[in-house]
Amino acid sequence: MKAYLLSHWQLIACALCAVAVLAISGCSILSTRPATARLAVTYAVGKYIEAADQPGERAQRVRAVALKVLEVAQGDSVTVDVLKVIAINQLPVNLSPADRAMAGAIIDVVVEELKTRISNGILPADQLLTVRAVVQWVADAAASYLPKT
């Protein structure tokens, strides 16, 4: 049986979809089983970091992106378009044109799905709290791969 390994862009797509699903699903898993949700996010981030040739560098990058999202998400409202700009600006500069196009398409799909479920493009307060929680879990998971100071 041939093993199938996800590319790093497929893992990013899965992570973006997971965050989008958590944010738009009414967050029931976070209220009924927060430990399970956190474990799933932590595990996915860990596997993504471990798949890198240089896990420490990837962990730093993942944490930096998560902290940037948290910085923006501290306000009372965040638009889906702002999150899209952050995601696009955090793409590595050394991506091939094909990978950049794929990453952009993945981001567009997630953004469009969010927009169909959020009428005015602004995340409601309860969903914004969920996004903050999930992104904090991502930052914490990435930090566990960084050297302790």
- pLDDT tens digits for range 56-98: 988 998 888 888 878 877 776 777 788 788 778 877 778 788 8
CA angle 76, 120, 115 (to 5 degrees): 105
Residue 146 CB neighbours (<10 A) = 14
The CA distance from 80 to 130, in Å, is: 14
The reported pLDDT for the residue numbered 1 is: 38
The reported pLDDT for the residue numbered 11 is: 52
The reported pLDDT for the residue numbered 17 is: 57
74: left (phi over 0), alpha (psi -120 to 50) or beta: alpha
pTM of the model: 0.67
- What are the residue ranges spanned by the domains of the chain? 10-21+33-143
User: What are the residue ranges in the chain where pLDDT is below 50?
Assistant: 1-6
CA-to-CA dists, residue 101 to 33, 62, 97, 123, angstroms: 36, 20, 6, 26
The reported pLDDT for the residue numbered 56 is: 92
